[in-house]
Amino acid sequence: QVQLVESGGGLVQAGASLRLSCAASGRTLRTITMAWFRQAPGKEREFVSATTWDSSRYYADSVKGRFTISRDDTKNTVFLQLNNLKPEDTAVYYCAADESRIFTTRTNAYDYWGQGTQVTVSS
């Protein structure tokens, strides 16, 4: 079984920054696409960002210009740099991995998920 473990969340003030990481372990994993999703209470899980096999990067409109995704395939790790955080960014952030070579923002297309890390932004 493949396991994804997120870290780096916390409580910060608006305008601050955080750096999230997600490490994959277990059997050999073809992490063609690695992505970040987030979910606030009472809301659906939503796509945040992803990076694919060709190093293309994708972002939700709500985070463009503020968040940056990167990956280290040697370490099977993906990062998300969150800058200029806003209260509306408050959510549990999940990393996900997809062995498919076709990029998608659909949650049900991803093969592996982490347990989530809480990001809370105060005003």
Per-residue pLDDT of the chain (123 residues; tens, 9 = 90+): 678 999 999 999 999 999 999 998 876 556 678 999 999 999 999 999 999 878 899 999 999 999 999 988 788 889 999 999 999 999 999 999 988 778 899 999 998 999 999 999 999
**Which residue stretches of 22-114 are H helix?**
none
Separation of alpha carbons 12 and 23, rounded Å? 23
